Amino acid sequence: RHHNDNFGSYNWKDSNRARTLLNRGLQIIGENPDVDELHPVVISLIDLLPNDERPSGDDSVLVG
């Protein structure tokens, strides 16, 4: 949700695709998702960020 609230402060490689993915992620979150459903959306969003704006840490874990 942080990325949604601060969408314009990120240098997305493709802002239209990022917006679509964020909206989809928020929709999934509202439907009580499991990690397997949300993980591909999160990874796709991270891939749209420049390397210096990507979160650090274990990319295989979703943190709530």
pLDDT digit string, tens, across residues 15-40: 999 999 999 999 998 998 788 999 99
| Global pTM value | 0.76
Alpha-carbon distance values, 59 to 10, 14, 16, 30, 63 (Å): 19, 21, 23, 23, 10
Token pair, residue 17, equals 């695709």
Is the pLDDT at 63 greater than 70, yes or no? no
Residue 64 confidence (pLDDT) = 46
Domain that holds residue 22: 2-53
The total number of structural domains that make up the chain: 1
Is the pLDDT at 11 greater than 50, yes or no? yes
Token pair, residue 8, equals 């314009």
Residue 56 confidence (pLDDT) = 75
Token pair, residue 14, equals 């493709």
